[in-house]
Structure 1
Amino acid sequence: MYNRATGTSSGAQGAVSVNIPAENADKTLPDVVPDKGSALWNRVHLGTDSLSMENFHPFKSQAGLLTRAAREVGRVLAERRARRVMFIAVLNVLCTLVLFVWCRTTRSMALLAYTYLTVFDILCLVTCLVSIWVSIQKPTPAFSFGYERFEVLAVFTSTTLAQLAQLFVVKESIERLLHHHDVHTGRLLVGTAFGFAVHFVSTYFVSNKAFQHVSEASSSSWLQEHVADMSRSLCSVVPGLSSLLLPRINPLPLIAVAGALALFITDMLIEINNYFRADTFAAISIAIMTIGTMFPMSVYSGRILLQTTPSHIIGQLDKCLREASTLDGVLEFRNEHFWTVSFGTLAGSLHVRIRRDANEQMVLAHVSNRLSNLVTVLTIHIFKDDWTRASLSASSYAASRQPYTSTPAKTGLDPAVPTVNPFQPLPPLHAPNLSTITPIGSPTVPSLHQPASRLYGSGTTVPSHVALGPAGNPGGRIPLRTYQPTNLFGASDGTGQKSTTEFVHR
């Protein structure tokens, strides 16, 4: 508590000496007005320090993976539907263990292949729990689109593991064809009925939106296509079954019915003819039907994980983009990219170039309205057509242009040697005036020994090819060629004849 008389402040955690003079206490304290509830306010008015009420742990360990997983499971089980799914999943696990025991006692590979369907049901229930967990999560900076892709990953994992299990069954069945094994049929039909009931409870008593969407959106399996023909014929006789059998049957109950039928035929063949290989062929048939049913689901979920555009959406997207491109002010679309985030959720981004006088908000509203029916998460970047035309005059262009040669410039050249610019235009050539030429020997012809300034004018550089006179001055005649008389073999004959030089007047 602060004491104005003594200039000290004391609290419950200890005394804090401020050392404020009494005459300046009234001047000093009103300058700082702490917020109510802050550390300074608590120290002055309540005599406590909020900072000292909590322990500071600089090396506090974070919660482990198991702790966080347990916390998330608790949040999921707080939902009523999640508790129902969990109860059915536990019941399914117990039934699956019983079926595995019966597979061992009967030594039936067909019953083992059928039991793997109940294992797949457990994975489906786990996927349903993941869907509930995703629905209560919110987007984070690390997962800006949310956690819906975990749901897709769960479906892909479940279908892939089911196919791998059936491949194991095919491998074991091929080995049994080479080695004879007896099959005990005491619990074969009982196990078939028990597994069929467990599969139907897991399929119809739980609303699994992930697998419902995949079974409807993925392509039909070969088993569905063959059954669809029989379903149309049956519905033409009994129209009341159209809602159940058309347009196509759910693949999960279909594979359960087909597997149960194969086990029933196997039991009859073993009981009547002791044909034990029928169990092996039934196991291979159940495995092939399961793989053929799961493969389209794996392909569909795998394409979503690869962020591809659905094939049935491409035509509609092109139509919407063509309609949006006809809006007033829109010039073009760039960098269009659309992909599937999760089941039924399509994301996209594009750049829109508009005119300089167009309204960005108006164009943004129109483009978003056109694509909002298909694209759930849409990002649009609008930029105006901002361009300038460079107008260069002839003088600025000539001044800015630099000569470019194929060979680099060499340093250390003689500055007296003129450099050649290949881009510099040559001076115009003027034809000589023949009427002003004076014959040689005329009195008006300048002497060869006259100064060069009289021949070329003052300030004119004397060409290097002009011959020098005896006095060192350039002559007025240009040597055309100089030759020395030689003999037949091209050597000088040494006759002492003087060399002759011809000159022509410039």
Structure 2
Amino acid sequence: MDPISQKACLCFAVSALLMAFLIYSVSVTRSLVLTGLAWLSVFSLFVIFSTIVAFICAASSSNKRYTFGLARAPVLAVFSTTVLAQLSAVFLTKEAVERLFDSGQHHHSHHGGDAAPLSGGDILKTEYLFYPAALASSSTMLIVAYALANQPFNYVLKHAQSSVIQEHFADICAAVCYFVPGLARLLLPRINSLTLLAFISTCCAIFVHWFRLEFPWVDSVASMVLSFTIFTSMAPLSSYTGRILLQTTPPHVQNLIDRSISEASTIDGVLELINTHFWQLDFNTIVGTVDVRVRRDANEQHVLRDVRIKLGSIVNYCTIQVLKDSSTNWALHRQYQTPLYQPPSAAPTHSSPYHQTLPNGIAFRDQSLGSHPQEMHSHDHHHGHSHDHHGHGHSHK
């Protein structure tokens, strides 16, 4: 096992211990804010697990059933983790709304425990758990954000769009850095989403610790604020990984691909590139397929090599199918085809259903009649007609 894998396993074990402590704190305090912190620790644990999955998938190879192996497994792991965090935020909001309308006399089941508010004496006995719980939750998120480098989740954090919370904090940080330029290196261009979650969750826990005894509804309000922060922070991450799973291409990469296709269309012998399909396989790999229609006299190997060179700088794996041009050689066809249009002569003429002239003067044959050029030639030169001279009918061929 390499040192990075050992470090990931160590972080997983530490996060599991911190999660166990947070679950114990929830069972003792029955606080919704600490419940949210426990969910965040579960989220951090699954993020580290996705890193371990990425290490396992990197060692696997492709086979006949899975052409690209397990390359998409880390993407699916990160997507599932972010969706889990969003679902926990929804459940936490539901419990907070129920707690707000609860009179304190009803007892509801809450994650396997009793969610009824505690009395004043019990609250005083459990006040000491809020600070350690906030520290434990923040530690799990900071481990995920900074302890493990080059993990899949960090890649998503870097390349996904900014959340609403990040945009507002970016404005505040820009104002602070205007007066203290030395902080620009830490606060700009934007703060890590997990760092913001750790900061906001700690503030919520401290706020509930000081005002929970005087205002019982503070716990519910703070938990709803925490739920909103979790949901808005995870939404861009879920959207980014979801697009990868739907086999789409990032906009900036699509622009580069379009430019490469335009350059490949100018290669000698290439008529056009059709049936193009490019998508993002994982966080760092672009794959695609394309059909190249070439002239009949084009060298397929040279065309294949040149197209690969044009697309290889953007597309990591590309399947290229070279198609010979199947259009008719009209120059050769005109040597054997009888003219469909003849100049008018003194002989009687009549309209033929076998040809017509387009407005631009080009004649074409109606293929639906199923006639052949030889039949058309015979029809043009053999006209049957009769004349009646003084009651004697005779015909000429």
Question: Paired residue for 2:263, among 319, 323, 347?
Answer: 323
Kindly indicate whether residue 223 of structure 2 is the aligned counterpart of residue 283 of structure 1. yes
Residue type of the alignment partner of 1:146: G
Check if 1:354 corresponds to 2:294.
yes
Matched with 2:249 is: 309
Equivalent position to 2:176, from 234, 248, 254? 234
- Quickly say closer, same or farther: Cα 1:186–1:403, change in 2 above 3 A: closer
Q: Paired residue for 2:389, among 423, 433, 437?
A: 433
Which of 53, 56, 59 is 1:130 aligned to? 53
How do residues 212-231 of structure 1 correspond to structure 2 at under 5 angstroms? 212-231=154-173
Q: Match for 2:240: what amino acid?
A: Y
TM-score normalised per structure 1: 0.62
Q: Which has the larger radius of gyration?
A: 1
Task: Give how far 1:386 is off.
Answer: 4.5
Q: State the SS of the aligned residue for 2:226.
A: helix
Give the Cα–Cα distance (whole angstroms) in 1 for the partners of residues 337 and 292 of structure 2. 35
Higher relative contact order (CA 8 A, sep 6+): 2
- In structure 2, the CA distance between the partners of 1:100 and 1:374, relative to structure 1 (3 Å rule), is same
State how far apart, in whole Å, the 1-side matches of 2:6 and 2:300 are. Answer: 50
One of 24, 34, 37 as aligned partner of 1:111: 34
Cα offset, 1:220, TM superposition? 1.2
Identity %: 32
* Match runs of 1:319-468 below 5 Å: 319-389=259-329, 428-434=384-390
**Offset at residue 432 of structure 1 (A):** 3.0
AA of the residue aligned to 2:11: I
Shift of 1:248: 1.4
1:120 matched residue in structure 2: 43
Indicate if the aligned counterparts of 1:128 and 1:208 stay in contact, CA closer than 8 A. no
* SS of residue in 1 equivalent to 2:314: coil
Distance 1:370 1:159 in 2: 37
Deviation string, structure 1 residues 479-505 (Cα, Å, up to 9, x no partner) = xxxxxxxxxxxxxxxxxxxxxxxxxxx
**Which of 92, 98, 102 is equivalent to 2:21?**
98
* Cα distance in 2, alignment partners of residues 429 and 199 from structure 1: 99
CA distance in 2: counterparts of 1:300 and 1:224, whole angstroms: 16
Farther-moved stretch of structure 1 (79-88 vs 328-337):
79-88
The superposition leaves residues 75-112 of structure 1 with CA deviations (integer Å, 9 ceiling, x where unpaired) of xxx33322221122122112211111111211210111
Q: Which residue does the alignment assign to 1:190? A: 132
Deviation at 1:388, TM superposition (A): 4.2
CA distances 1:162-188 after superposition (whole Å, capped 9, x unpaired): 111221111111111012324542321
- Unaligned 5+ runs, structure 2: 105-116, 340-353, 355-366, 371-378
Are 1:266 and 2:208 counterparts?
yes
1:81 aligns with 2:21: no
Deviation at 1:357, TM superposition (A): 2.5
In the aligned structure 1, how far is the partner of 2:237 from the partner of 2:190? 15
SS in 2 for 1:186: helix
Kept after mapping to 2: 8 A contact 1:255/1:289:
yes
Q: Distance in 1 between matches of 2:385 and 2:323?
A: 56
Match among 147, 154, 167 for residue 77 of structure 2: 154
Relative to structure 1, is the Cα distance of residues 235 and 429 closer, same or farther in structure 2, using a 3 angstrom cutoff? Answer: same
Equivalences, count:
339
Spell out, residue by residue over 1:271-295, the C-alpha distance to the aligned partner (whole angstroms, 9 max, x if none): 6xx1121111111111111011111
- The answer for the alignment partner of 1:173 in structure 2 is 96
Which residue of structure 2 aligns with residue 33 of structure 1? none
**Partner Cα separation in structure 2 for residue 428 and residue 81 of structure 1:** 95
Q: Shift in Å at residue 384 of structure 1?
A: 2.5
More off after superposition, 119-128 vs 298-307: 298-307
Deviates more, 1:188-197 or 1:375-384: 188-197
Q: Is the 8 A contact 2:275 2:291 kept in 1?
A: yes
- 149 and 402 in structure 1: CA distance in 2 versus 1, 3 angstrom threshold: closer
Q: CA deviation at 1:196?
A: 1.6
Per-residue deviation, 1:238: 2.4
* Distance in 2 between residues matched to 1:218 and 1:256, nearest whole Å: 19
1:357-408 per-position Cα deviation (integer Å, ceiling 9, x unaligned) = 222233222222222222111111112224444566569x9xxx9988xxxx
Shift, 1:305, TM fit: 1.0
Q: Distance in 1 between matches of 2:319 and 2:140?
A: 46
Q: Which has the higher helix share?
A: 2
Counterpart Cα distance in 2 of 1:186 and 1:138: 51
